[in-house]
Amino acid sequence: MAADTSPSRGPIVSPSFTGATTEHKATRWTLTLIAVSFLLLVIVLPLVSVFAEALSKGFATYLAALIEPDAMSAIRLTLTVTIIAVPMNIVFGVAAAWAIAKFEFKGKALLTTLIDLPFSVSPVISGLVYVLLFGAGSVLGPWLKAHGVEILFAVPGIVLATIFVTFPFVARELIPLMQEQGTTDEEAALSLGASGWQTFRFVTLPNIKWGLLYGVLLCNARAMGEFGAVSVVSGRIRGATTTLPLHIEILYNEYNVVAAFAVASLLALLALLTLGLKAAMEWRYGAEIAAATRH
Amino acid sequence: MDVRVVNVKKEFQRFAALHDVSLDIRSGELIALLGPSGSGKTTLLRLIAGLESPTQGSIYFGDEDASTKSVQERHIGFVFQHYALFRHMSVLENIAFGLRIRPRATRPNAAEIQRRVSELLDLVQLSGLQGRYPSQLSGGQRQRVALARALAIEPSVLLLDEPFGALDAKVRKELRGWLRELHDRTGHTTVFVTHDQEEALELADRVVVMSQGRIEQVGTPDEIYDTPNSPFVFGFIGESNAVAVSVNSGQLYLADRPIGLHADGAADGDATLFFRPHDVEIVTGPGPSIPGVVVGTRRHGGTRRIETEVGASGQRVEIDVSVDATIGSTGRLALRPRRWRLFPSVPLRG
């Protein structure tokens, strides 16, 4: 012990020594600078300009653009669509992830691919699919119309298109997580006498709750912001079938730039809120999330 | 409770994991399923638990056919190799889980549950840790919580899948003795899977040796070690030498020389002689024996291990002698197994 404390036996480290993965100072600064300036130019600047443009004619004009009846109707519609589409995708997503991660069955690879389909096809095509399915020339459309059900150019069509486009978010988030966690926790619960539902409620769900929450946040942000697919099926009846993104486009096309940016700023705020929520969650429950995702 | 496995077969897709396995487990017995990986031991355990269903055959709990029962109805306690503790629940909540999820009619009240949990924590020597989360426990502690959780529902059979497999050697040895003690105290019929023969022989009342989806031998540790009934068991359990010999009217020959061993009733032709390194005597006087050339000696615990080559093709034979024996100076010795077994045909070594 005495030898260990004597100063002459202390570790000798050359001052110029750096770890194998430690970069030179100049390299670090250059890389950071590139990243930050790119972020400023491509993301922060446009975002700031949205708010700047929206408030360019004062707060009163800004507010007026938001409380005008068509804008209010667009906000209502967007919220309605989101409130229907997100819970449905939670149910579908959890069910699909559960099936893929915990069971072996024929056609599993096909199902996994299908879940990714909305990510890989253009949203416009996603909308067109519903036009083909429920349009005037289709079999289903006229029949449903005869029975008093409007799908296309009405709320149900917009909801369907939104569900289609946002379907992968929850499932994609959960599948790798559930696959990694395996089935032993569930088997343990079953062996202790738990029913299938109790196992899901008390074991599976708590294990995936953080992944699920991420998926829901992302799904929510996309559901509110979806433009392409919704634009095809909505028919853009002002004050009736225009969601927030569609309303923004209409205003912009009418050269009502300030109003367009005012409504856009609202959407941007929603997106920022979502990100803020995610960050807050990570900060508050960081340790717990790490514990849940690692074994 | 007695458990009887009757002619059980299990296939995964087209791969047969178990071929026609039958096994009687007596009430209160501590039994080990021992075998290399892929031998079907875990599959057999999961079939008893009801986590898998047999392709053919049945499993009886007492006189009741349990094959058609679900895992919940079988009322077993299962302990997993990697604990499978619910990580979002405290130790208390983990152990109480099996009681709390019961329907109201059969669920003990909160005070009773708390009493049972405390009792179990005492039993597994983890009193005072009931508020901890699994991530705050060591591996050995986690496995003891898993055991307490399985015991909480008062299972009819306790099933453990490589319970000490994920633990380091020292903790493993400690838990082994402790499990034996626990079993003696609680008297649960217990089946555990292991690939560690030392663990199986030290812990179990009876050992079931498995290989390639079949049961090779069932017996007490003494029976398994002293009288292995197949080349596989001889090779797999303990250390052994295998020497190719030939049989002629009950006499054993090595490279056309008699070696002084008689196997009455053995068929003429090629056979393999099995014996353990410590069951060999050095022959100093005249008489038939196996001549060997010493190729090396090593210290092996309390004995000295001598490596020799015997026969025309130089088959490797290891023998144990006392540390102070003066053997090897001449480079040659004559040996004769004291205890041995002869198996016809060519064996596979474990």
Q: What is the mean pLDDT of residues A219-234?
A: 91
Asked whether the beta carbons of A291 and B135 are under 8 A apart, the reply is yes
Of residues B85, B87, B101, nearest to A193 (C-beta): B101
Contacts of A295 in chain B (CB under 8 A): 82
DSSP 3-state of B99? helix
Q: E strands of chain B, at which residues? A: 3-12, 15-25, 30-34, 56-61, 64-65, 76-79, 157-161, 189-194, 206-211, 214-219, 241-248, 251-254, 257-262, 269-275, 280-282, 290-300, 303-310, 315-322, 332-337, 341-344
Digit-coded pLDDT (tens) for B258-313: 888 888 777 888 888 999 998 998 888 777 888 888 888 888 888 888 889 888 78
Chain B nearest-CA distance from A109, in A, is 17
**CA separation for the pair B82, B163 (Å, rounded):** 8
Handedness of CA B298, B301, B304, B309 (dihedral sign): negative
Contacts of B88 in chain A (CB under 8 A): 206-207, 292
Q: A192 vs B75: CB contact, 8 Å cut-off?
A: no
Digit-coded pLDDT (tens) for A44-103: 999 999 999 899 888 999 999 899 999 999 999 999 999 999 999 999 999 999 999 888
Determine contact: B80 vs chain A, CB below 8 A. yes
Determine contact: A5 vs chain B, CB below 8 A. no
Determine contact: B107 vs chain A, CB below 8 A. no
pLDDT for the residue numbered A16: 64
Determine contact: A202 vs chain B, CB below 8 A. yes
Determine contact: B84 vs chain A, CB below 8 A. yes
State the helix-helix crossing angle for A69-102 and A58-67, rounded to 10 degrees. 70
Q: Regarding beta strands B56-61 and B3-12, do their DSSP bridges make them parallel or antiparallel, or are they unpaired?
A: antiparallel
Chain B nearest-CA distance from A106, in A, is 12
pLDDT for the residue numbered A18: 67
**CA separation for the pair A249, A233 (Å, rounded):** 15
Supply the mean pLDDT for chain A. 87
Tokens representing A70? 């068509």
Of residues A187, A192, A295, nearest to B149 (C-beta): A192
Q: What is the DSSP string of chain A?
A: -HHHHSGGGS----TT---TTPPPHHHHHHHHHHHHHHHIIIIIHHHHHHHHHHTTTHHHHHHHHHHSHHHHHHHHHHHHHHHHHHHHHHHHHHHHHHHHHH---TTHHHHHHHHHHHHHS-HHHHHHHHHHHHSTTSSHHHHHHHTT---TTSHHHHHHHHHHHHHHHHHHHHHHHHHHH-SHHHHHHHHTT--HHHHIIIIIHHHHHHHHHHHHHHHHHHHHH--HHHHHHH---TTTT--HHHHHHHHHHTT-HHHHHHHHHHHHHHHHHHHHHHHHHHHHHHHHHHHHH--
**CA separation for the pair B161, A27 (Å, rounded):** 52
* Main-chain phi, psi angles of A170, to 5 degrees: -70, -50
Q: B149 vs A191: CB contact, 8 Å cut-off?
A: no
Q: Give the count of beta carbons closer than 10 Å to the beta carbon of residue B222.
A: 10
**CA separation for the pair B168, B189 (Å, rounded):** 26
Residue A156 above 50 pLDDT? yes
Tokens representing A156? 């149900």
Q: A207 vs B87: CB contact, 8 Å cut-off?
A: yes
Determine contact: A184 vs chain B, CB below 8 A. yes
Determine contact: A207 vs chain B, CB below 8 A. yes
Determine contact: B59 vs chain A, CB below 8 A. no
Q: What is the mean pLDDT of residues A13-36?
A: 81
Closest-CA residue of B relative to A198 is B101
Closest-CA residue of B relative to A184 is B84
Asked whether the beta carbons of B190 and B158 are under 8 A apart, the reply is yes
pLDDT for the residue numbered B330: 65
Determine contact: B82 vs chain A, CB below 8 A. yes
* Main-chain phi, psi angles of A264, to 5 degrees: -60, -40
pLDDT band at A17 (very low <50, low <70, confident <90, very high): low
Contacts (Cβ under 8 Å, ≥6 apart) of A277: A217
pLDDT for the residue numbered B329: 57
Residue ranges of chain B with per-residue pLDDT less than 50: 347-350
Closest-CA residue of A relative to B159 is A191
* Main-chain phi, psi angles of B82, to 5 degrees: -105, 35
**CA separation for the pair A277, B79 (Å, rounded):** 39
**CA separation for the pair A159, A154 (Å, rounded):** 9
B167-175: list long-range contacts, CB under 8 Å, 24+ apart: B167/B139, B167/B140, B167/B143, B168/B139, B171/B138, B171/B139, B171/B140, B172/B199, B174/B140, B175/B140, B175/B143, B175/B144
Determine contact: A108 vs chain B, CB below 8 A. no
Closest-CA residue of B relative to A186 is B84
**Of A150, A268, A145, A288, residue with least CA distance to A213:** A288
Q: What is the mean pLDDT of residues A104-118?
A: 88
Residue A120 above 60 pLDDT? yes
**CA separation for the pair A13, A15 (Å, rounded):** 6
Q: A187 vs B84: CB contact, 8 Å cut-off?
A: yes
Of residues B72, B75, B82, nearest to A184 (C-beta): B82
Chain A nearest-CA distance from B85, in A, is 7
Q: B97 vs A292: CB contact, 8 Å cut-off?
A: no
Gap between the terminal Cα atoms of chain B:
34
